[in-house]
């Protein structure tokens, strides 16, 4: 799939299209729910090599703040998220700060209504348990590295999650948001793992026992459309061009 904003021409319901049975692209679905996932900007724990749970996450770097500011400016200029109903974030500081930067830019898309950042723990990255706050070299010295490709049920550390339990938890949280805001548009400031969990759960060709190894960029957009029991991926790794040039 090519990253980028969906073409309004492609979503035009009035254009002539082949019959549904032979169509290779889909038409816009009336009443669909839009779930827009934004990966947080570059985090201090990313740069310093710290396990970034609730204790280890200390927010965004200056560069990470700028990445999100560039995306926010684009969203304000394009109005591409018009009709937004709610803004969520994980409880981790890097995600909350990302949502806080986006909120003023999304206010116009919400009809001038100020958007409260609703933080939920189930939208967090994989819970690291006792490894939280350690440097990765300390983690490697203290705990065996779980081989999730061979056994996704292994926990990362005592009190932490396995790959399987994380995917189940994160995907269920996204499904709950879609049900809570049926027919609306929801923006979620979250994490690369949560975005991968959405791929593993919502794409019919995937399996939750294999990691995809996605290279999800900081401050990038992944957008899903949900209708009935069907999920449609509209875009992945959509980064504001100026942010790419500054990376």
pLDDT of residue 242: 60
Q: How many CB atoms lie within 10 A of CB 67?
A: 29
Global pTM reads: 0.87
Q: How far apart are CA 7 and CA 27, in angstroms?
A: 12
> Closest Cα partner for 87 from 102, 108, 70?
102
Q: Name the one residue in this structure whose structure tokens are 């709950």.
A: 176
pLDDT of residue 114: 85
Beta bridge mates, 89:
119, 189
Q: Name the one residue in this structure whose structure tokens are 């999650």.
A: 161
Query: Average pLDDT by consecutive 10-residue portion of the chain (247 residues)?
Result: 44 60 63 96 98 98 98 95 95 98 90 91 98 98 95 97 97 98 97 97 74 93 94 94 54
Pick the CATH number of 31-246 from 3.30.470.20, 3.40.50.1240, 3.40.718.10, 2.40.30.10: 3.40.50.1240
Query: What are the DSSP E strand ranges found in the chain?
Result: 33-39, 84-89, 117-119, 185-190, 220-227, 230-239
First to last CA, the chain: 22
What is the greatest pairwise CA distance in the chain?
A: 61
Q: What is the DSSP letter of 22?
A: G
> Closest Cα partner for 114 from 106, 124, 123, 126?
106
């Amino acid at each position: 799939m090519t990253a980028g904003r969906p073409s309004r021409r492609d979503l035009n319901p009035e254009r002539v299209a082949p019959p549904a049975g032979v169509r290779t692209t889909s038409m816009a679905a009336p009443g669909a729910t839009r779930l827009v996932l934004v990966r947080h900007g570059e985090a201090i724990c990313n740069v310093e090599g710290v396990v970034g749970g609730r204790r280890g996450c200390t927010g965004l770097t200056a560069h990470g703040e700028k990445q999100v500011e560039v995306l926010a400016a684009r969203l304000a200029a394009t109005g591409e998220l018009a009709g937004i109903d709610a803004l969520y974030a994980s409880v981790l500081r890097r995600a909350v700060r990302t949502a806080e930067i986006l909120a003023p830019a999304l206010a116009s898309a919400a009809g001038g209504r100020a958007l409260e950042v609703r933080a939920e723990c189930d939208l967090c990255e994989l819970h690291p348990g006792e490894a939280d706050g350690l440097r990765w070299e300390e983690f490697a010295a203290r705990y065996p590295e779980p081989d999730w490709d061979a056994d996704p049920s292994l926990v990362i550390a005592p009190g932490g999650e396995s790959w399987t339990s994380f995917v189940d938890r994160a995907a269920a949280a996204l499904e709950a948001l879609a049900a809570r805001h049926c027919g609306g548009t929801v923006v979620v400031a979250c994490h690369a793992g949560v975005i991968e969990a959405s791929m593993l759960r919502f794409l019919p060709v995937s399996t939750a026992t294999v990691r995809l190894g996605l290279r999800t960029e900081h401050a990038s957009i992944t957008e899903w459309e949900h209708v009935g029991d069907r999920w449609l991926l509209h875009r992945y790794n959509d980064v504001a061009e100026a942010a790419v040039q500054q990376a």
